[in-house]
Structure 1
């Protein structure tokens, strides 16, 4: 429904006035509450989407629900699964400023511009977007892959420069840093046991790129990460977990600081799911074994805009 204020009488408009509209404030200031723009939906993407078959890129596309041009998993980000069978190659060429890959399984090599390096299971890779990326697998490989092409598409812009170099975070180094964080005597008193991937080009935001934020975390056996929220979308990937791990998500807290009428997301290894911005969420591990997860968010951009607003119950 178009609620634009109509002219009192029919007038002849010049060509440069044809697209102008005017809205009474209360009918336009909150398009989400007015159902003029859709909320970001909850959604889960199982590992069965990529655990067999030919080499391929699988966008986790929610653009129809979002009412935007796709593929897109959120208004500014697109998450993907990649399956790359042994000896196959795949070219990545989004119009993006920021890309992050996590190697779920396999090993091989990567070329970006004049940079070439090898990757193995458990590595993280951060890439800018001026050049195409070529992935080559030496063994059957799978990736979790997030980039910001939907943001650039919305803005109507093209990448004009790389803000950082292609960067490898080797699995052994990332795992050692995570174990170091877990071994800290104060770890159990913190809101979570995790590390954030950073890049020396972004000292203010301390994020993996200027747009993306990537966390590598442990959910210890028998633990609860209490309800928290932030204004960045979270594209969560479960690396590994036992039965009994899950997330509760909802819009409000009750008087005890617990999520009211939550939606439950049960974890399975290789699962990806969307946590909408501004929603309270809490993670639970009711087993006797650790679980591992990777949330990737647009929190680099939100931090730069001073709008991330992380809160805990």
Structure 2
């Protein structure tokens, strides 16, 4: 007996393909094409990874890889972003050439020099920098250094794509260095101003010359350094982008993601799933700071960010 429900139909193959191009075709229907079940992005606070990096046992990477849970065939923390820690011991060098459009970096500890293409920069604790993907880059540490980085590697891996490199007019991003001293000045300038009811707290938003019109740091990525005043909280809210958050300062502080309480620990990575209700809380007597990377550029461009407070 034939089941007449089209949702139960398997994928349909071409009947009599005349050539290889026709034979590659596959056909679904409106009943079975949109019921694909993918694992949800899990709320998570990642503490083991920073502990391994901060141990400074060897030069190398510590990936925040949840690809098994996400059923991704490539390393990923969210479907479109990969967070990682990097350790570079004194006198050693790490190749940081990545297959992504851009990666966002924060210097957790130590001192180093980076060489990318024909540019160099001296890096210190608290610095932020933006690396274009596909461009040869290496970090040499003068004092054992630890970094946190987020790139859109999974986005390119999903499409089997390569970053465009070359002149600034062609590449999506360039190397940008945000020194800690300048970040402190800019953040303090923001922190001294009043926030109205439509403002999401006191946060410093990072952008670059090439992406200033979109106010993003890279075409698909956004970066902000958020703050919470002592004994305060950011009200529950949501947005359609996923968020990867580095706990920079806050004692004690925590986040609520749906009903999961995520206690911060130094340099932990918080994963907030897309559209998840979440809030951030500072129960301490000092200012809390947290660095947030989102795949927000995609959603801003598509006009689907969906930010709202509860």
Same fold, TM-score > 0.5, yes or no: yes
Contact 2:229-2:287 within 8 A present in 1 as well = yes
- In structure 2, the residue matched to 1:255 is none
Contact 2:113-2:121 within 8 A present in 1 as well = yes
Q: Provide closer, same or farther for how the CA distance between residues 186 and 297 of structure 1 changes in structure 2, counting only shifts above 3 A.
A: closer
The structural deviation recorded for 1:11 is 4.5
Q: Are residue 20 (structure 1) and residue 28 (structure 2) matched?
A: no
Equivalent position SS for 1:150: helix
- In structure 1, the residue matched to 2:152 is 148
Q: Provide closer, same or farther for how the CA distance between residues 189 and 157 of structure 1 changes in structure 2, counting only shifts above 3 A.
A: closer
Give the unaligned 5+ runs of structure 1. Answer: 251-261
- TM-score scaled by length of structure 2: 0.89
CA deviation vs aligned residue, 1:227-272 (integer Å, no higher than 9, x gap): 11111110111012202x111112xxxxxxxxxxx11111111111
Contact 1:99-1:145 within 8 A present in 2 as well = yes
Q: Are residue 157 (structure 1) and residue 165 (structure 2) matched?
A: no
The structural deviation recorded for 1:196 is 0.5
Q: Provide closer, same or farther for how the CA distance between residues 180 and 18 of structure 1 changes in structure 2, counting only shifts above 3 A.
A: same
Q: Provide closer, same or farther for how the CA distance between residues 42 and 185 of structure 1 changes in structure 2, counting only shifts above 3 A.
A: closer
**2:220 and 2:9 mapped to 1: Cα distance?**
34
Equivalent position SS for 1:209: coil
> Which segments of structure 1 move beyond 3 Å, counting only runs of 4 or more?
2-7, 9-24, 185-190
Match of 2:87 among 83, 90, 98: 83
CA deviation vs aligned residue, 1:181-234 (integer Å, no higher than 9, x gap): 111134798421111101121133201111211111211111110111111110
Q: Provide closer, same or farther for how the CA distance between residues 10 and 93 of structure 1 changes in structure 2, counting only shifts above 3 A.
A: closer
Computed over aligned residues only, the root mean square deviation of the Cα atoms, in angstroms, reads 2.1
Match of 1:247 among 252, 255, 273: 255
The structural deviation recorded for 1:95 is 1.2
**2:91 and 2:15 mapped to 1: Cα distance?**
66
Count of residue pairs the alignment pairs up: 295
Give the unaligned 5+ runs of structure 2. Answer: 1-6, 166-170
